[in-house]
Every structure is written in structure tokens, then in C-alpha cells.
Amino acid sequence: MLSKISETRKSFDEDLSKVSNLKSLEELRIKYLSRKGIVPQLFEGFQDVSREEKKNVGQALNELKIFTQNQYDLFKEKLENSLKSSEEPDIDISLPGRKIELGSKHLITQTLDEIKEVFKGLGFSVYEGPELESDYNNFGALNFPDDHPARDMQDTFFINKNFLLRTHTSPVQIRLMQQKKPPIRALMPGKVFRNEAISAKSYCLFHQIEGLVVDTDITFAELKGTLVGFIKQFFGKDVVYRFRASFFPFTEPSAEMDIWWQPKGKAGRWLEILGCGMVDPNVLINVGIDPEKYIGYAFGMGIERPAMRKYGIDDIRILFDSDIRFLRQF
């Protein structure tokens, strides 16, 4: 039996040296390593070996199996690599280069950048804050009563009793006034979250930008002039606007600003564009600013609706769908 094993190893080496392609290598595998090959047949004959020889024969058989399999694997890998290196390249280097399409800013980002540039020209600096906020910064410090409807779960995504996803960017105003003393002339953009039903006009996530000015000798006339200057730059000099009285817990007096909107072929109507007002003295007290010395105004608007009105989009959901056909238009 040991002599058969030795002869098999010698014949395997001779046959392997004659292999020149994958076809002849496969024939070698079938001859020696397949289920009915020479090596498995030797293992079947192991049962006829005497007890005294089993140890030596078994060791020799295992060594033969490992040797033939390893030699086959190494030769196959070497042969395949040599064939790959000799193949023709799978690209035509004579072809002209393909144009790489570069991405562009999303329409929301474009609109936000445009709004920021207008207010930067009016002396505003940009500040940002966390999207996960405390109940105090989001409501309490902004003069919201404990029973205000905005605290209800239908409007707000509460994480727990004390923290929530901010419903507006006003908490950044609180953080800023706590850290920086007047004069303040700041702009606060960012994402906000409200537990609203998704429709063509509303979404559970949207973008907002707010402005805050705190200084001495601040007037409502300055607030009005700032906002009129903004909408004329953003919507055009011919935009028709109006201010009407409103209410917000953190400003007093408060107002909303509307613009006249008349899409082609449709009846015109007034559309709310932003809310504004003079900062309530209680808010200044909450952040440690003396309301007897300083006064301020604030305003806030969404980004999606101005973008929709400026570019004729009638469904807010399109802005969040990532439809490449829509995005390529901007």
C-alpha cells in the first residue's frame, strides 16, 4: 500500500508538469481528486490494510491527499492569474472621457442661502443650535404658559418629560441671549419638527429661519423696514404686502406679514409669509437682560413656503421626495 501511495505521488507530479491550460488541469483533477479518482480509491482500500500497517499507511494517505489538493489549488490560481494578465483590457482607452455630472444644492438650501445673504447684507450674523431641545428653552423661556396648546403631543414630538424635538428655531435665540449680551443682531436657520398630518401644504419636518435684534432704541418701524426690504429683494420690488395684528407668546405687540399671490390662471389671494413682533420683556428677563435698558424685535418664517411661492411649487412633499426629475430643474 505504501508503494502505491509513493507511485501515485510521483505520477501526480509528472502529470501536473504536463498541464498547460484549465482544461488539462480539470482532467488532472478528475483523474486524481474526483470521487472516483485515484486518491479516493486508495482511501477505500485502507480498510484492507493490516492493523500493524494502518498507522503508517493512514499518515501517508493523509499526506498524499493534502499534497495533491494543495498542488492543484496553487497551480490553478497561478494559471488563472496568468490568463487574466494576458487578456485584453475591458475598456477602450481610445474612447473620449465620460462627462461626470456634478450635483447641485437642493432647492431648500438654495432658498435658505438666498435669504441668509439678504439679511447678512443688513448686518445679521448666522447662529445655529441643537435640534434636540429642553422644554424650558423651547417653551418656558419664551413665555409659553404651561397649558399652551403647542405643548400638546399633537403638535410636539416629546422625547421625554423634559426634552423634545424643537418646534421652532427660537430656542437658539434663548441660548444666544444667555451667552451673549446686547447688542445682538442674529439670524437662526435650521430644521424644526411638528407632529402634523402630512399633506400638500404641511409636513412633519420643515426648515425655518428666525431673526433677533436686541439693542437700545429699537422700534417697530425698524422691524417693519427690515422685513419690507427683505421681501422686495427676495420676491421683487413689485411685491404687494401687508402687516396685520397677531399674537405670539414671546412678542408684544405681534404681527403677521402677508404677500399678495396670484398664480397664472388662478385667482389671487393673501398668503402669510412670516410672523414678527417686539420681544416680550418677560423673555428678556428670563435670559438675564434688563428690559428697562434694552428692547428688541424678532421674526420667523419657514423656508419651504417662500420657495414654493417663488418657484411655483404646489405640493410641499415634492421637496422631500428626492425625485431626480424635480431636482434637476433647480
C-alpha grid cell, residue 306: 417662500
Q: Which stretches within 100-192 are classed as H helix?
A: 107-120, 135-138, 170-179
Burial of 172 (0-12, 13-18, 19+ CB in 10 A): buried
Q: What pLDDT is recorded for position 193?
A: 93
State mean pLDDT over 267-275.
87
CA distance 247 to 71: 86
Looking at per-residue pLDDT, the higher value among 254 and 101 belongs to: 254
* pLDDT > 60? residue 87: no
* pLDDT > 70? residue 17: yes
DSSP-derived letter for residue 123 is: T
CA distance 134 to 138: 6
State mean pLDDT over 56-66.
82
**DSSP H or E segment with residue 308:** helix 304-311
C-alpha grid cell, residue 108: 431648500
Q: What is the pLDDT of residues 150-180, one digit of tens each?
A: 666 558 899 998 999 999 999 999 999 999 9
pLDDT band at 86 (very low <50, low <70, confident <90, very high): low
DSSP codes joined into one string, 258-270: EEEE--TTS--EE
CA distance 33 to 20: 18
| Percent above pLDDT 70 for the chain | 96
C-alpha grid cell, residue 190: 435650521
Looking at per-residue pLDDT, the higher value among 115 and 44 belongs to: 115
Which of 227, 230, 172, 212 minimizes the C-alpha distance to 295?
212
User: How many other C-beta atoms are found inside a 10 Å radius of the C-beta of residue 238?
Assistant: 6
DSSP-derived letter for residue 167 is: S
Q: What pLDDT is recorded for position 246?
A: 94
Q: What is the pTM of this model?
A: 0.66
Q: CB under 8 Å to 200, separation ≥6 — which residues?
A: 314, 315, 316, 317
Looking at per-residue pLDDT, the higher value among 21 and 113 belongs to: 113
State mean pLDDT over 60-81.
84
Q: What pLDDT is recorded for position 117?
A: 94
Question: What is the three-class DSSP state of 154?
Answer: coil
Domains of the chain: 2-86 (no CATH), 107-327 (3.30.930.10)
**103 Ramachandran zone, left/alpha/beta (phi>0; psi -120 to 50):** beta
Chain mean pLDDT for the chain: 87
